[in-house]
Amino acid sequence: MQENPTNSNPANTNPANTHSIPYAVLGTSRISFPDNDPFHASATLATEAEIMVYLGYPHLEDHSKRAILVELDTECLGELTGEHLGEEGSNILGFARYRNGTDDPSPLVELVKQKNSRPEAIAAAIALFEAAGLQVAVCNDHLGRIIDRLVRPKYNAALRFLDEGRATQKDLDLTCKLGLGYPDGPVERVVRGGLVHHYHITTVLFEGTGASGYAPARRAIVAAKRERN
C-alpha cells in the first residue's frame, strides 16, 4: 500500500544529481526518441558517458557505467540479458517511452527492472529521464509492461462492442470521454494508433499469456491481413 495516489517508486525521492549525468545514445530509435528528439542533443560521447542508452541496437555489458538502458518494443528485458532462475538483474535496465502506435511519443517512460537490478542504476535512469522532461513509471519485466497490459484488452472489448452493435463508434467513444473524462475514446484511439500495430501487440500478449482478453480483435486481424495482401 502506498501513502498517496501520486507518488511513484521510492527511487524517485532520491534522484542522483539530476542534470549532470553524462549519457551517450547509440542506435536509431524504433519508438522512444525519433532522430529529431531533443534527447539526442544533450548526449555525449560513449567514452565520457556514465549512462549508455541503446536504441534498437545490440547493447554491450559494461559494469563501470551507472546504468545501461536498452530500449524495448514488445520484448522482455530478459530476452536481452538472459534469465537466471528469478535472480537476474544488473546495471542493465529496459525502457520504452509509451507511444500509441503512430501518435507522437507521450511523456511517459516505462522503466523495466529485474529482481536484482541495481538501485543506483534505477535512480540514475529516473534522474536522466526526468531531467529530459519525462515522467517515469517503474515496472518489473512482464509482457506488455503496464500500459499495453492494461489497455489492449479494453481496446479489444470496444472493437468487439462495435462488431456486435452494442453502440456506434461515436457513442462508444463519447461515453468514455463524457463518463470517464478520457481525452479520447477507445475506438478512435486504437484506430488512430493503427489497428495493425494493435494486432502485433495483442498477438505477442496472447501468445505469451494465453489470456482470452488479449486475443486480437476481429477488426485488427482484418487490418493485418489486408496489409499483408
Partner 1 sequence: MSHSITTIGVCGGGGTMGAGIAIVAARAGFKTISYDRSPDSLASARKQTSQFFDKSVERGKMKPELRDEALARLTITSDIAELGACDLVIEAVFEELGVKHALLKQLDEVCPDHTIYASNTSTLSITEIASGSKRPHNVVGMHFCLPAQLMKLVEMSAGILTSPETFKTAWALTEQLGQIPVETRDDPGFILNALLVPFNNDAIRAVEAGVAEAGDIDKAIKVGLGYKMGPLELIDLIGLDTQIRLCEAFYGVTLDPRASAPPLLRRMVAAGLTGRKSGRGFFNYGSNAMFGA
Do the bridges between strand 92-97 and strand 108-113 make them parallel or antiparallel, or are there none, so unpaired? antiparallel
Indicate whether 46 belongs to the interface with partner 1 (CB under 8 A).
no
CB of 97 to partner 1, least distance (A): 9
Q: What distance in Å separates the CA atoms of residue 46 and residue 159, rounded to the nearest whole number?
A: 46
Q: Return the bridge partners of 149, or none.
A: none
C-alpha cell at 99: 507511444
Indicate whether 4 belongs to the interface with partner 1 (CB under 8 A).
yes
Q: How many CB atoms sit inside 10 A of residue 150's CB?
A: 10
- Residue closer to partner 1 by CB (options 128, 172) is 172
Positions in 14-33 near partner 1 (CB under 8 A): none
Contact 52, 24 (CB under 8 A): yes
HEC letters along 143-207: CCCCHHHHHHHHHHHHHHHHHHCCCCHHHHHHHHHHHHCCCCCHHHHHHHHCHHHHHHHHHHHHH
Q: What distance in Å separates the CA atoms of residue 96 and residue 131, rounded to the nearest whole number?
A: 16
Indicate whether 106 belongs to the interface with partner 1 (CB under 8 A).
yes
Positions in 201-220 near partner 1 (CB under 8 A): 211-213
Indicate whether 9 belongs to the interface with partner 1 (CB under 8 A).
yes
Positions in 168-197 near partner 1 (CB under 8 A): 168, 171-172, 174-176, 178-183, 186
Positions in 136-155 near partner 1 (CB under 8 A): 137-140, 142, 145-147, 149-151, 153-154
CB of 66 to partner 1, least distance (A): 21
**Total number of residues binding partner 1 (CB under 8 A)?**
50
Which DSSP letter does residue 142 get? -
CB of 72 to partner 1, least distance (A): 14
CB of 45 to partner 1, least distance (A): 31
Q: Is 46 helix (H, G, I), strand (E, B) or coil?
A: helix
Residues forming the site for partner 1 (CB under 8 A): 1-9, 98, 106-108, 110, 135, 137-140, 142, 145-147, 149-151, 153-154, 157-158, 161, 165-168, 171-172, 174-176, 178-183, 186, 211-213
